[in-house]
Structure 1
Amino acid sequence: MLSKQGEIQKIKLIASDPPLVYFQLGEEHCLIARHALTFFAEAAPGSNVVVFGHKNNRGQFIADQYRVLEKNQLWLDFSLSRYPRKKAGQP
């Protein structure tokens, strides 16, 4: 299994059924199908990530696993929400 680390340059959803996400990691062209929508929600252009996977016959890197190295987009959206947090025990 190969590993790549770097900053995402481009990211886009190629297919929705089944989900397939294309992203460019430095100069490397990558695809992710497993947990693609979660990756699309967590990562954004400029995010630093580590991906593990293999190359296909076209030379594209197919990611099997990933890890976002900084606070992801979902966490930032949640923490910057203008709605107050509920206190424990309140409905």
Structure 2
Amino acid sequence: MEYVSLKGTINSAVKVVSFTPYLVRFELKTPEQTYNCLVAKDALNFMYLAKEAAPISIFGHFNKRKQLVVDKYHVQSGVLVR
């Protein structure tokens, strides 16, 4: 299994694909390409954090359908605490 690490922005709304188990999908836009991504681990927390056009860094691998399965992620928050 080949792992990749990418930085980009969330290019679409985060959508629930499956409820058992929870599975969400989104599009990741990088300067080179757009990827279809799936999040299974911690999917509900990801839905809470991820907003369209938010900067994101991900680490994951590709499945048989050439979708990027996200193992780890970091979403940059737009909230500033003073």
Tell me whether the two structures share a fold, i.e. TM-score over 0.5: yes
Structure whose alpha-carbon radius of gyration is higher: 1
Equivalent residue of 2:65, what SS? coil
Give 2:11's aligned residue: 9
Question: 1 or 2, which has the higher helix percentage?
Answer: 1
Contact kept in structure 1, 2:49 and 2:77, CA below 8 Å:
no
TM-score (norm 1): 0.74
Equivalent residue number for residue 34 of structure 1: 41
Q: Is residue 12 of structure 2 the alignment partner of residue 21 of structure 1? A: no
Identity over aligned pairs, percent: 35
Structure-2 separation of matches of 1:50 and 1:38: 15
TM-score by length of structure 2 reads 0.82
Q: Which of these residues, 68, 71, 74, is aligned with residue 67 of structure 1?
A: 74
More strand by share: 2
- How far is 1:70 from its partner? 3.0
Could you tell me how far 1:29 is from its partner in structure 2? 0.4
CA RMSD of aligned residues (A): 1.6
* TM-superposed deviation, 1:15: 1.2
Q: Count the aligned residue pairs.
A: 74
For structure 2, which runs of at least 5 residues remain unmatched after alignment? none
